[in-house]
Amino acid sequence: MVKIPQQNAALWSPPPVPDDSPPTDLEALWRSTQDRLRESVPESTFRLWLEPIEAVGLDAETLYLEAPEGIRAWAERRYSGLIAAAVVDSGTGVRQVSFAGRREVADATPGPELNPSYTFDRFVIGPGNRLAHGAALAVAEAPSEAYNPLFLHGPPGLGKTHLLAAIANYLNANAPGLRVRYTTAESFTNEFVGALKSSGPEAFKARYRDIDVLLIDDVQFLEGKPATEEEFFHTFNALYEAGSQLVLSADRIPSELSTLASRLRDRFEWGLTVAVEPPNLATRLTVLRHLVEEAGIEIADSGALAELANRIDANVRQLHGALTRVIAHASLLARPLSSELIAEVIPRSTRSAQATSVEEIQQQVAERFGVSRAELIGSSRAATPLRARQVAIYLTREMTDLSLPQIGRLYGGRDHSTVLNSLRRVEASLGEDEVLTRKVDELRTAIHNPTAG
């Protein structure tokens, strides 16, 4: 989002409008904006990057836009300022623009799927997450009485989402009379934008303020979205004053969410702020034992899991992914799950993989599948680009600490559910599709050693 500076301008309060002033017409405003844009850039630039953009919503100060997946990220990064300036020139009082998600996402009311397997019983406790687990359980057992708000923070893959979902699942099972809503900041934003252009903000407010418990994941996604920040600020206040429980998570402590409004950061710190830290060796071993038991996998030697736990020292998500790879190879090669196999399949610690760039992953996957990088992050549904995109998303999730919303933005502005679907499709194929499994292994090697071969 780009906001045109204006002295003493309230973020959400529109200037008084005389009763006889006609409301701003969305289509007319966008037509006049496009006319100004056409005069500001070469015709080829306008037709390629600006003409496909659509105006989908409007409030007192913000014009909401959407663009096709293949151009959205570039158009938002490169042309938001130019579009905002053209909108300001219209003289309607609109002062900023915000790119929404895809139309079908913005229209969708349901939030992210609540994973029923994320429960307190299945959460492995260790020194790095013991306090976070205890606080989350206390909130689940006595909403609004223990810690309000509860703010969990830490790098991706350490269990924050698991704990938020565990609270929701616990309350749904043990306190069915409570109105509980779990969502992500990305879904909150998309629903808000969708409400502005369809059902209206009042229906949205009712959906988020007439509840007993709100759990919202990845609140760092609100950064750079002043209008959504403003709405969430009022939602937070309404729920807190009504005695409702709030639970939030982010990849940083509130004070480091530097582009969020200070009044929102302050509210995040009203209750208890708890760090979720990487698991130690003992915790990693316990996680692996649980996963192996649940999957019914036989281990060939007693040191196999310790070997894997020593090689993967970043987070639980990468640990789970590494075990999935080893199981896939054991299945394809008809070999036992042993220390020897683990040494072959997992040759490097994930600490060396953390610096892997998304650009390198995308380039290697595009070359391996014979598609262009533009096709990889674009909107093509053809079989080869689609499969390449799914594999690239899978490897990005595995090799980086990026969250699902962050990954989606790097792949053409895709939403949380699309990224999750890609991960599930690749995971389901590994161990069954020998060609794909080998291709993914070759890509891992090429990405870690781009100059090899």
Beta-bridge mates of residue 96:
3, 62
Same domain, 312 and 367: no
One-letter identity of residue 405 = P
Same domain, 364 and 439: yes
In a domain, 367, yes or no: yes
Tokens of 85: 């300036």
Tokens of 160: 């924050």
3-state secondary structure of 150: strand
Q: What is the mean pLDDT of the chain?
A: 80
Contact 379, 69 (CB under 8 A): yes
Burial class (CB in 10 A: 0-12, 13-18, 19+), 243: exposed
CATH of the domain at 230: 3.40.50.300
350, 366, 396 — which closes off a domain? Answer: 350
3-state secondary structure of 153: strand
Contact 61, 48 (CB under 8 A): no
CATH of the domain at 29: 3.30.300.180
Beta-bridge mates of residue 182:
215
Same domain, 429 and 382: yes
Residue 269 has pLDDT above 80, yes or no: yes
Count of domains forming the chain: 4
What CA–CA distance (Å, rounded) separates 28 from 300? 70
Same domain, 250 and 137: yes
pLDDT tier for residue 140 given thresholds of 50, 70 and 90: very high
Same domain, 336 and 392: no
What's the domain range around 288? 281-350
60, 81, 99 — which closes off a domain? Answer: 99
- pLDDT, residue 100, reads 64
CA angle 269, 151, 114 (to 5 degrees): 150
In a domain, 109, yes or no: no
Contact 267, 240 (CB under 8 A): yes
CATH of the domain at 393: 1.10.1750.10
- CA dist list (Å): 83 to 6, 25, 64, 198: 17, 17, 11, 23
Sign of CA dihedral 169, 191, 198, 378: negative
Same domain, 271 and 191: yes
Q: In what order do the strands lie in the sheet with 245-250?
A: 180-184, 213-217, 245-250, 150-153, 272-275
Same domain, 33 and 138: no
Residue from 166, 183, 171, 174 nearest 129 by CA: 166
pLDDT tier for residue 60 given thresholds of 50, 70 and 90: low
In a domain, 146, yes or no: yes
209 φ, ψ to 5°? -110, -15
In a domain, 114, yes or no: no
What CA–CA distance (Å, rounded) separates 398 from 73? 22
Same domain, 181 and 303: no
In a domain, 113, yes or no: no
CATH of the domain at 322: 1.10.8.60
Same domain, 240 and 370: no
What CA–CA distance (Å, rounded) separates 338 from 305? 8
Same domain, 142 and 264: yes
In a domain, 122, yes or no: no
- Kindly report the pTM of this predicted structure: 0.57
In a domain, 9, yes or no: yes
What value does the mean pLDDT take over residues 346-350?
Answer: 59
Tokens of 31: 């037509």
Same domain, 37 and 57: yes
Tokens of 115: 């994973």
240, 256, 275 — which closes off a domain? Answer: 275
pLDDT, tens digit (0-9, with 9 covering 90-100), for 197-242: 776 677 788 888 888 999 999 998 888 788 888 889 999 999 999 8
Tokens of 65: 């836009």
Residue from 360, 318, 327, 368 nearest 345 by CA: 327
In a domain, 453, yes or no: no
Lowest mean pLDDT among 106-120, 170-184, 313-327: 106-120
Same domain, 361 and 422: yes
